[in-house]
Amino acid sequence: MKRWLIPGMIVALVLALAGGGTLLQVAQSAPEQMTFYVIAHTGPGDPFWAVVQKGVTDAGKLLGVRAIFQGPPQRDIPAQVNMARSAINAKATGIAISVSDPKAICAVIREARGKGIPMVAINVKQPPEFTESCPYEAYIGMDEYEAGKNVARFMMPKLSKGARVLIAIHEPGHVGLEARAKGITEVLTQELGATVEKLDITQDPTKALAALRAYFKAHPDTKAIFTLGPLGAIPAIKMLKEDKLVGKVFMASFDLDPQTIQAIKEGVVLATVDQQQYLQGFISVIELWLEAKYKLQPADYNTGRGLVTKETAAAVEALVKQGYR
């Protein structure tokens, strides 16, 4: 669905059903018992998910409903499944969930749909190779694979044929991160003949820094590094600065945090992919509410908007400080 359709749908709803009143006036008539859950594979301790939580909270306040964001401290699929089952048992009005482990999460989606609870996927969707039923009604998030391809093509002019490239992954097995890595790998190997390796750096910043340094010691000819989120970007930035690799090793990343944006402004990082995660929280609640109140079917919503570079970093930084990125 084009990005403008959801706002347009909201305006049409207001005009048709509220007699020209505001969205807030329509929302205030919503039943107080409506409760929506947004359940992620990682909680708000991760800067990325803290922004999603803000989107969820803001949507709940706007609509006058309960909107609850949940997620374990670190990627923990059994914990995420348990949170989803608790929401099902609480008779949630609607649930949004990240499909970071399709086998486990699609099973709980089927369970919820079997009990009549609307479900949308956010942030990570069912990968094409997973063929079991996964009956969420819409996906709200970025196309991870295409984003990987786009950032790889952005990096290509900086690299020579056959260059060595590292992809640092902080959550191996996470289907969204793996799709990003797949897109990067396909472009650089097929179009540049690059040697691309993937390294598990873990979510622990100390371990990540050690793993990165060990890799670069073993492979000093590495010309570029891709990190797949702030948990990888922050230790990578630290390494490039402290080990005097800025300008010698090119770096690109995904998602936003203050340290990554500052590194872009300083020229340490060339670019990062902004998937506008605030929208993943906000729009998921809006769409579930529209279905619950007006039987409007949820629709796919692509939150990705491209790359943040040195030219755009300052403008985006202002939004990060406000919690919208």
Q: What single DSSP character describes residue 268?
A: S
Q: How far apart are CA 265 and CA 262, in angstroms?
A: 5
- Supply the pTM of this predicted model: 0.75
Domains of the chain by range and CATH?
Answer: 5-142+275-304 (3.40.50.2300), 144-273 (3.40.50.2300)
Query: Mind listing the pLDDT tens digit for each residue in 158-182?
Result: 999 999 999 999 999 888 899 999 9
* 250-254 vs 271-273, strand pairing mode: parallel
User: What's the pLDDT score for residue 47?
Assistant: 79
Q: How far apart are CA 283 and CA 228, in angstroms?
A: 23
Q: What single DSSP character describes residue 113?
A: H
User: What's the pLDDT score for residue 142?
Assistant: 93
- Stretch (H or E) spanning 257: none
User: What's the pLDDT score for residue 225?
Assistant: 98
Task: Estimate the share of the chain in helix, then strand, then coil, as percent rounded to the nearest 5.
Answer: 50, 15, 35
User: What's the pLDDT score for residue 263?
Assistant: 97
User: What's the pLDDT score for residue 134?
Assistant: 97
Query: Mind listing the pLDDT tens digit for each residue in 265-290?
Result: 999 999 999 999 999 999 999 999 99
User: What's the pLDDT score for residue 4?
Assistant: 43
**Which residues in the chain show pLDDT less than 70?**
1-32
- Stretch (H or E) spanning 151: helix 144-155
- Stretch (H or E) spanning 61: helix 47-63
